[in-house]
A and B are shown apart, each in its own frame.
Chain A
Amino acid sequence: MILLAKIGIGVVGTAVVGGTMLCSEGMLLVKVREKQVDGKNISLIVPAALVPMTLKFVPDRHLARASASLHPYMPILDAAIPALEDCPDGVLVEVTSAGEHVLIAKQGSSIVVDVNDANEVVHVAVPLRAAHSAIREIAAAAGAT
């Protein structure tokens, strides 16, 4: 009985620690709502820490081109993303035109992109720290950095 309890505590403890680690970098949120009558409604919520973690298992050859493209911009991204984390919340870019509205804002520790056009409404929230980790992971592929 005691052995079972110990195993149970171990399993629950591992699940709690694992869950906490997964959620530590926030949640990646993607919502797409098509405006057509039979349009799709997609909601995707993923622990953001999963993205850089998953990228570790992607073979370098699949990331080589992205890595090469990212490499020249890494100093800028390495400066910009932490600087953005330190910035107060607010709208960074807003584009309004006939039938389309695009908003890029900083909310908490995430960058939020909202697009509302004639066909669909899209909402994407990307935690900055996880985005930075993912970008570094891609850039490091094939020994780019």
Chain B
Amino acid sequence: MRIIKTTLPLFVVLLAGTTVVAASSGRYLHVRVSNPGQHEQVRINVPLAFAEKVIPAISSGQLRDGKVHFGHLSANSVNLRMILDALKTAPEGEFVTVQENDSDVRVAKEHGQLIVHVVDRSSKDKDKEKVDVTIPWEVALALSSDADGDQINVEAAIKVLENVGDITLVAVTGPEETVRIWIDSNSGAE
């Protein structure tokens, strides 16, 4: 009887722990677009496991075999793959800082994350538009893994995203709309 009394709480704790781990195993990509002025909001919640299975099946437009071909960008002298390769070996710090009258751009590698920060003041509205992109370093590496010079590997990036912590990938704040794209383990978009 004493054994049962001793082991029962342990069993309950073990069961609860297993339940919590099982419940938190599903990762979600959330997209939220809000336009408070128009009282409009769009929320999209994509289970990453679902995206991982579907993306390799898509063969349309620029997306084929889980990879996005961006030939049009390299034609404009911007080769994303080369930039990512160069960033792999670069030490942490600020890479690009551009300050102009109507915009600021900052690209940096900080705390194992690739950070892009853009402020656009060209809008006539008094509110400026801000774009913050945070890409965990392992995701940035996955984007350039197993891909030719004009491709980024979305399938590999999604696999890696399943293992990174909760993070806001993209935040856009404009005078009218806000956009947020983030990863967490909640099935809802809160």
Contact = CB atoms under 8 A, between A and B. Distances in A.
- Counting chain A residues whose Cβ lies within 8 A of the other chain, the interface size class is 20 to 34
Q: Which of B39, B54, B58 has the most CB of A within 10 A?
A: B54
B50 A87 contact: yes
A78 to B, nearest CB: 7
Contacts of A96: 39-42
A88 B26 contact: yes
A13 to B, nearest CB: 40
Interface in B35-70: 38-47, 49-50, 53-54, 56-60
Contact of B49 (A72, A87, A91): A87
A84 to B, nearest CB: 6
Contacts of A92: 44-46
B165 interface: no
Nearest to B25: A88
Interface of B: 26, 28, 38-47, 49-50, 53-54, 56-60, 187-189
19 contacts: A75-B59, A79-B53, A79-B54, A80-B54, A80-B57, A83-B53, A83-B54, A84-B50, A88-B47, A88-B187, A90-B28, A90-B187, A91-B45, A94-B43, A94-B189, A97-B38, A97-B40, A97-B41, A98-B39
Interface of A: 72, 75-76, 78-80, 82-84, 86-98
